[in-house]
Amino acid sequence: MPAGGIWLLWYLGFNLSVAVGVGFIALAGVAVETAIVMLVYLNLALRRRRTEAAAAGRPMTARDIEDAVVEGALLRLRPKVMTVATIFAGLFPIMVGEGTGSEVMRRIATPMVGGMASTTALTLIVIPAVYLVWQRFLLRNQAVATADDVRALGSAHPAE
């Protein structure tokens, strides 16, 4: 999450300070909030696909999971881009401003500006990709467990 903030600090030649720490704390709050909302949207889309599959009388497939992840991620694309654009628009004047207190404010804003670039990639690309791999893994394990249950039931002797 803070990789973009760290790179921007390095690029601008800023050292770690209390002001930079405050910027990272603010970045962490925004990053965690957007990641959690992404997971909520992914879970809601997956739940809707499970309901549709159950209504059709068929098991979930890997394609259902892929469609749910794409649907959930696309629903978050515009709000995430708007959040990032608003943060950039609000912090850009601080980054280029001159005057009393601008040195401290620039150090608070730098982790936010750099970190929002990297958290955008995290939220829109990495989280849905990891969620997809995780859900496929759970689906595969569920299929294996179901097949083992069927084999166990098939080997039972009803006459005993």
Report if residue 143 sits inside a domain: yes
Residues 44-81 pLDDT 10s: 999 999 999 999 999 989 999 999 999 999 999 999 89
Q: Which residues contact 135 (CB under 8 A, 6 or more apart)?
A: 46, 65, 68, 69
Amino acid at 89: A
In this predicted structure, the answer to whether residue 143 has a pLDDT above a threshold of 90 is no
Number of independent structural domains in the chain: 1
Nearest to 67 by CA among 40, 36, 46: 46
Band of the pLDDT at 152, cuts 50, 70, 90? Answer: low
Residue 159 lies in a domain: no
- Any idea what the Cα angle at residue 102 is, between residues 100 and 107, rounded to 5°? 145
Q: What is the CATH number of the domain that holds 141?
A: 1.20.1640.10
Identify whether 160 is part of a domain.
no
Please provide the average confidence, as pLDDT, over all residues in the chain. Answer: 87
CA 43 to centroid of chain Cα atoms: 12
pLDDT of residue 32: 92
Does the residue 136 lie in any domain?
Answer: yes
Q: How far is CA 94 from the centre of its chain?
A: 28
Please state the pTM of the whole predicted model. Answer: 0.79
Q: Which long-range contacts (CB under 8 A, 24 or more apart) does 129-134 make?
A: 131/39, 131/42, 131/69, 132/65, 132/66, 132/69
Segments forming the whole domain that contains residue 70? 3-152
